[in-house]
Chains A and B, each alone.
Chain A
């Protein structure tokens, strides 16, 4: 079943590293499969738990411990990865999450666990490592390369932190791929002539809408918009709020005083929500959430109807549609111009979501692929395209009816302090804070390099060469991605000058000229930030480049040309050049997890 590969290289997989769940898939010879773990599960909960006996649990076993060991069970790391200490996101997370965080070196937050203080990428690396193990067990071969997906609106820091996580798990990252692009890949590109697609991705922690145009095997991203703090978790929180009020009203007991009880309530809230996708009415019973008069254990019963759920969920679904409207405005397209809407993410299984999306776009969305698997499938397709010379177009998705029902989630709310039985797991390595030295990148250097053309003599108008290079066959569809967030330079007064606007195709290069703002200015500081705000302070700071020892000049007389070059992996190369002397300074904005 495996394609022939170059000797010495293992298999390449696709990984959807989700906030809630991670999915791993493999594609070979045009056949794509979601890889199941030993128990036959397709979803690997993106949860890591540090057991008192020193073991590191990942996935379902870890998820079970959210209740009994809330402080050492880490989840939703994707919401935090690549964010710095002191940002609103981290502050908010510190209130919501039951595990402890503190400031580590270089403004990097660390999670304080029984196993030590760990930065976010180290936690994600444990999840990726488990995904790799699942793949190796399922395929029976070594896996050493992967395409890893991220939300379209992840910034460069978040991307490089994700890349680092995969590297730490022992994988060469073939590509960091945007999730919506992956979804479009899974649905087979270019099988129809010139299609405009909307990818609606409502997952656990994030929402994204991406508008794509696909034709002749070329996928062009027209626009993307998203909210990285909008997902199924918010609906769970809303249900949880209702349950807390009910517990207080029924039992005069505030569950918020106990981390364990709250984790239990949260799990029950999600369970109710998922039940209500299929049922009109659902209930849960939480045992021993506290003790009443005379030490009698209090059990709490709660029932929720789909109508009640939909009332709670509606504001969040409305917010997703507001994001849709924003993306559509940026694209200057009309809803009616779209040929298809693809649903991605577990939250799109909710009937309310499907109905609202259908009525908003005026067409039924596509759900032939399981919405929580479609991203991993697309990542696997790209991994195959990038590694197999003879990669064929993947088979179209199986017909919806022919698909087996996704395995039901096992609801395990039996509480009582009993530790679940866990199979011994191999001890995971711990991570050094500064990061291990990276191996030199593997470069396939052509033995006889083509020579560079000699420069043209002055005064001769250059001519475009008469031919295009011939693209190798079998490279599969081409993806032209865009940068989801505007990249800017801070200018006088704290405002920004937008150098690379959002929705610009990558890779791209843009230059701007800046003049000095004071007489005899000795130093020019290029502060780079990312985001849509006009004020630098409200955007995400990416770093800075200093050009010092400027020649003496009156203000406005010295011009510096600043270039931004954004590569296909979302790494920004910034350079500044003194137009007078030709002197140039450069840097790369790959700070974040790597710290410079």
Chain B
């Protein structure tokens, strides 16, 4: 990279560094408002991106924004890169944690690009607690209970797709039941990825 000697009061042609810095500042200006998928440039499909896609996207993102690449840049650009990278790492954390991911994709579908992470995490903790209980115990009405029992049996058999369908019916029967919704989220999470390292 040839360094151009500074000249006073003259406009220099944009260097690759300058162009890069501009892009970083543009990202930093909007990063607090944009959703996690756009941030990592993942497509918005109904099922959400696969675990492998999320990882690949994050690595590409990190290659572009990690503050290590901006050591020689101005303080402003360095701060901007750190800000963008932090947000992308947060996106990666949410999208690769099954329960958080389900919660987030629901919020996104509901029009919330960036729900507070704090709130998502709190909801997820409740999900985890509810998910530990049988669906039949979470249901209050007889209709939902029947679906719940079926879901529990399917979970026992490892038939998670059927369990999910049964839970969706239970949630439909009792729309306000947060426990059932959480149980559904947990099953969806398990369907999506049995555990973090389980790819390949």
Is A114 part of the binding interface, using a Cβ–Cβ cutoff of 8 Å? no
Q: Is B45 an interface residue (CB 8 A)?
A: no
Please measure, in the bound complex, the distance between the C-alpha atom of A479 and the C-alpha atom of B41, giving whole angstroms: 21
Nearest CB of A to B78, in Å:
9
Residue in chain A with minimal CB distance to B4: A447
Q: Contact between A464 and B71 (Cβ–Cβ < 8 Å)?
A: no
A95 within 8 A of B: no
- How far, in angstroms, from A449 to B76 measured CA to CA in the complex? 9
**Closest chain A residue, CB of each to CB of B5:** A447
| A138 interfacial contact with B, CB 8 Å | no
Binds A, one of B14-22, B130-138, B154-162, B171-179: B14-22
**A5 at the B interface (CB under 8 A):** no
Q: How far is the CA of A471 from the CA of B197 in the complex (A)?
A: 28
B residues within 8 Å of A by Cβ? Answer: 1, 6-7, 11-12, 16-27, 29-30, 33-34, 38-39, 41, 59-69, 71-77, 82-83, 85-87, 89-90, 92-93, 113, 116-118, 195-197, 200
| CB-based contact B61/A445 at 8 Å | no
Q: A462-B34, A464-B41, A471-B64 are in contact. Are A567 and B82 (CB under 8 A)?
A: yes
Complex: A478 Cα to B60 Cα, angstroms? 11
Chain A residues with Cβ below 8 Å from B30 are 456, 462-465
Interface residue ranges of A319-357 to B (CB < 8 Å): 331-334, 337
Cβ–Cβ contact B12 & A447, under 8 A: yes
Give chain A nearest CB distance to B52 CB in angstroms: 10
In the complex, which residue of chain B has the Cβ closest to the Cβ of A568?
A: B67
Interchain CB contact under 8 A, A331 and B197: yes
Known: A446-B17, A465-B23. A471 touches B63 (CB 8 A): yes
A386 to B34, CA, bound (A): 32
Q: How far is the CA of A469 from the CA of B89 in the complex (A)?
A: 17
- A470: nearest chain-B partner, CB-CB: B20
A568 lies within 8 A of B25 (CB): no
**Are A507 and B72 neighbours in the complex by a CB distance under 8 Å?**
no
B33 pairs with A462, CB closer than 8 A: yes
Q: Is the CB of A468 within 8 A of B197?
A: no
Expressed in whole angstroms, the minimum distance between the Cβ of A152 and any Cβ of chain B is 18
The docked-state distance in angstroms from the alpha carbon of A444 to that of B75 is 9
Beta-carbon contacts under 8 Å, A449-481 to B: 449-453, 455-456, 461-465, 467-472, 475, 478-480
Say yes or no: A216 contacts B59, CB within 8 Å: yes
CA distance A484 to B34 in the complex (A): 29
> Do the beta carbons of B69 and A472 come within 8 Å of each other?
yes
* Top-8 shortest CB links A-B: A468-B64, A462-B30, A333-B197, A505-B89, A469-B23, A453-B29, A464-B38, A469-B20
Residue numbers in B under 8 Å from A464 (CB-CB): 27, 30, 34, 38-39, 41
Judge whether A469 and B65 touch: CB under 8 Å. yes
Which of chain B's residues have a CB closer than 8 A to the CB of A471? Answer: 63-64, 69
CB-CB under 8 A for A446 and B63, given A462-B34, A465-B27, A475-B69: no
Q: Which residue of B lies closest to A175 (CB)?
A: B68
Which residues of the other chain, B, contact A450 by a CB distance below 8 angstroms?
18, 21-22, 25, 77
Cβ of A215 < 8 Å from any Cβ of B? Answer: yes
Within 8 Å CB of B117, what residues of A? 510-511
Contact A507 B12 (CB under 8 A): no
Q: Would you call B26 and A465 a contact (CB within 8 A)?
A: yes
A522 interface hit (Cβ, 8 Å): no
A sample of 14 inter-chain contacts (CB < 8 A) reads A333-B197, A450-B22, A451-B25, A462-B30, A465-B23, A468-B41, A469-B65, A472-B1, A472-B17, A478-B63, A509-B87, A511-B118, A513-B118, A565-B86
| A288 in contact (CB, < 8 A) | no
CA distance A465 to B41 in the complex (A): 10
* B118-A469 in contact (CB<8A): no
Kindly state whether residue A508 has any CB partner on chain B within 8 Å: yes
Q: What are the residues of chain B within 8 A of A196 when measuring CB–CB?
A: 197
Tell me the nearest residue of chain B to A385, going by C-beta: B68
Known: A464-B39, A567-B82. Contact between A332 and B197, CB under 8 A? yes
A508 touches B66 (CB 8 A): no
CB of B51, distance to nearest CB on chain A (Å): 13
Q: Which of A399-456 contact B (CB under 8 A)?
A: 443-453, 455-456
In angstroms, Cα B22 to Cα A478, docked, is 22
In the complex, what residue of chain A is closest to B3 when comparing beta carbons? A6
Given A478-B66, A509-B83, A452-B118 contact (CB < 8 Å): no
* Complex Cα–Cα for A334 and B65 (A): 31
> Which interface residue of B21, B83, B86, B92 has the most chain A CB atoms within 10 A?
B86
Question: Closest CB of chain B to A309's CB: distance in Å?
Answer: 37
A465 CA / B19 CA spacing, docked (Å)? 13
Among residues of A, the one whose C-beta sits closest to the C-beta of B29 is A453
A504: Cβ under 8 A from any B Cβ: yes
What are the residues of chain A within 8 A of B6 when measuring CB–CB? 447
Q: Is the CB of A468 within 8 A of B90?
A: no
Is the pair A453, B25 in contact by a Cβ cutoff of 8 Å? yes
What chain A residues lie within 8 Å of B82 (beta carbons)?
Answer: 507, 565, 567-568
B81 smallest CB distance to A (angstroms): 8
Nearest CB in chain A to that of B24: its residue: A469
A472 neighbours in B (Cβ, 8 Å): 1, 16-17, 20, 69
Chain A residues near B17: list those with CB within 8 A: 446, 472
- A475/B68 in contact, CB under 8 A: yes
Q: What are the interface flags for A374-407 relative to B under an 8 Å C-beta threshold, 1 for contact and 0 otherwise?
A: 0000000000001001000000000000000000
Q: Is the CB of B86 within 8 A of A480?
A: no
Alpha-carbon distance A479/B71, docked complex (angstroms)? 14
Q: Are B29 and A332 in contact (CB under 8 A)?
A: no
Chain A, residue nearest B117 (CB): A510
**Complex: A229 Cα to B191 Cα, angstroms:** 42
